[in-house]
Amino acid sequence: MTPTEPVNVDETLRDALSQGMAATELWSLLLAVFERRAAQRTPALVRQQWETDRFVQPCAVDQRTLNQLDSHLLAAAADFEALELSPLAPLATCSAVALTSQNRIVSTARGTEVVSDPTNALALECARRLRAAPDAVVKLTTSHRCVRAQAVPKRPGFAAHFRMFCLATAGHERKDHALVTEALTHHIRTHIAALDRLEKHGYHFPDRRLRLLATPERLHLAQRIAAAIPEISAAIEPLEHKYYDGLRFMLDAGTPDGNPMPLIDGGAFDWLHQLTANNRMVFVGSGMGSQLAAVMFRRVAMLA
């Protein structure tokens, strides 16, 4: 007899679970597995995980501080509709339309995932609204606690779960890329206004630096955005990250140790092209690490 190749049981099982079963059957199987695993756990094991697992540790920032911070950020974004997102999003919300590995996201056994980036969830909501009203311009904002599974930098303010303040603008592009340039300018100004407002309530964001990153094809758009925001000097740099659709901005602030920290990040994305099958749809998203701001840039107790 000719010897056969050994069967890789792990790989066979993975293929069967990921491809060979209907989604509803797979979710039912996983739920049954988790139910059995949970039944085997003791209160002592649950307590031990609570004390050691980085995903379940409480936030280091007082909740009242975060609530006050959210209030000021949302007030600065008065031009945007404030949306309270679900803690969960459809499975592959990020990885299906963006250059993100599903391994960096906490997936669930019910065909969903824990929100890791609210801008992706906001893009889904924008796509839903634009399908109903294609000529609309959608402007949304949210403050949301995110969970990410990748390694956490060993620096103050970084954690497996954190609060993030986001803006999103979407609509049908206009002549001369008017929508994308206006939306990015609006986002930048809104974030600057948010920092200014926070500085009146116990925060300090020194040595602010705005960077506009663009591909060669979109360099003229970055220059147009820089000219539209004369109140802050903008450095224009080449964009090499394929995550963005030709345009990105970053707003840094100096930390107490004198080092600049990227606090706000945003840009244009092609996600709506895929979600709506319309290449004329524009999506601009941006986010501030608001929990990071509370840890690194808060000097005194916030005033009412």
| Beta strand 138-147 pairing with 281-288 | unpaired
Q: How many residues are recorded in the chain?
A: 304
- Find out whether 36 and 141 touch, Cβ atoms under 8 Å: no
Question: DSSP secondary-structure letter at 176?
Answer: G
- Find out whether 265 and 248 touch, Cβ atoms under 8 Å: yes
Maximum Cα–Cα distance across the chain: 83
Cα–Cα separations (whole angstroms), residue 27 to 17, 18, 23, 111: 10, 11, 6, 7
Q: What is the pLDDT of residue 304?
A: 39
- Find out whether 164 and 288 touch, Cβ atoms under 8 Å: yes
Per-residue pLDDT tens digits of the chain, which is 304 residues long: 344 444 454 665 566 566 667 878 888 888 888 899 999 999 999 999 999 999 999 999 999 999 999 999 999 999 999 999 999 999 999 999 988 899 999 999 888 999 999 999 999 999 999 999 999 999 999 999 999 998 877 777 788 899 999 999 999 999 999 999 999 999 999 999 999 999 999 999 999 999 999 999 999 999 999 999 999 999 999 999 899 999 999 999 998 777 889 999 999 999 999 999 999 999 999 999 999 999 999 986 444 3
Taking the CA atoms of residue 249, residue 255, residue 260 and residue 266 in that order, the dihedral angle to the nearest 10 degrees is: -10
Tokens of 161: 């779960």
- Find out whether 97 and 276 touch, Cβ atoms under 8 Å: no
Cα–Cα separations (whole angstroms), residue 121 to 100, 205, 248: 14, 29, 19
Q: Which amino acid is at 101?
A: S
Alpha carbon distance 59, 15 (integer Å):
38
| Beta strand 209-214 pairing with 234-238 | parallel
**Which of 78-88 are b and which e, b meaning 16 or more Cβ less than 10 Å from the residue's Cβ?**
eebeebebeeb
Residue 291, classified by CB atoms within 10 Å of its CB into exposed (0-12), middle (13-18) or buried (19+), is buried
Alpha carbon distance 135, 8 (integer Å):
53
**pTM of this prediction exceeds 0.85:** yes
